[in-house]
Amino acid sequence: MRIVFLDRDSLPATENFMGPETPHDLVQYPRTTPDQVIGRIRDADIVIVNKVVLDAVAIAAAPRLRMIAVAATGTDNVDLEACNQRAIVVSNVRDYAVHTVPEHTFALMLALQRNLLAYRQSVREGRWQESGQFCYFDFPVRDLAGSTLGIIGRGALGEAVAGIARAFGMHVQFAARRGAGKPGDDYVDFEQVLRTSDVISLHCPLNAQTRGMIGAAEFVLMERRPLLVNTGRGGLVDEHALEHALRNGQISGAGFDVSSQEPPAPDHPLMRLLDHPNFILTPHVAWASESAIRTVIQQVRANIDAFLRDEPRSMVAGRRAVP
């Protein structure tokens, strides 16, 4: 049995990845470019992947492929329909980031709300000594307590963020799916969330319905000039519209851990915003606490072992074979 890990460097080298208990040949590539995918998976029975794209063409070129083990929760890089057509099992990892992503989300919120980076830089530049007193007030400091948090996405991460928010004394509202009709009792109309939130945090998957869900029209609705925090997927937000909204005061700040292009090109809208005092960009590390990474590795191995026992788990595709 041949197992191929296409982007081993997406996990730290310090964390050892052990293959399944079943005898196997494990080949690990640090990273894989699009033109290398087919050649590397052609003879694979199982492919482990984090962010490398496995489209229908690549999947069709791998006749032995029986399982794709995704070392992440998001599966937008895998053509799930092509996998269903051949009953190729696709299993992802789940709930490994229920502490690390919410904590990172609040790190971004707090840094922006309290202007931590601006104050740190001004202290480095000698502003404290220049002020001549015990403190100075160059940048506004805002509390989270009493503000309204709008959460888009109500999975494990959205719920965990809500729990922390309530502990801070924030009012929490979950956005209903756009176009879903009358919101349920625990949801607020999508557009109403945009209008009434002081902070908006994104925790939904990237798919055809959510791609570009926050764009120019949505920024116009944000009457309270909220902070926008995105630790979900870069494609959820039109980044050109984000740049315009931030530079023109439609929102008061933005904290992003994701980009539509990773890594972003030097002229990418998020890179152009790095000079803005109310913008923070981190390199997709919200998920990457030490304990979370260990959990990812353990789940990937457990998913493969379960598949080999003919007891597949955490499946997002492969439940049906289409003749």
262 in active site: yes
What is the token pair recorded at 23?
């005898």
224 in active site: no
What is the token pair recorded at 298?
């353990």
Beta-bridged to residue 175, according to DSSP, are 188
What is the token pair recorded at 184?
């349920």
Instruction: Give the span between the Cα atoms of 156 and 145, in whole angstroms.
Output: 23
The radius of gyration of the chain from alpha carbons, rounded to an integer in Å, stands at 22
What is the token pair recorded at 104?
């990172």
130 in active site: no
The DSSP output letter for 99 is: T
Q: Which residue has the tokens 């502490």?
A: 99
Which helix (H) or strand (E) element contains residue 201?
Answer: strand 199-202
3-state secondary structure 166-198: HHCCCEEEEECCCCCCCCCCCCECHHHHHHHCC
The DSSP output letter for 1 is: -
**CA nearest 159: which of 83, 82, 87, 99?**
99
- Catalytic residue, from 233, 239, 243, 268: name it: 233
- Catalytic residue, from 262, 290, 309, 319: name it: 262
- What amino acid positions are annotated as catalytic residues? 233, 262, 284
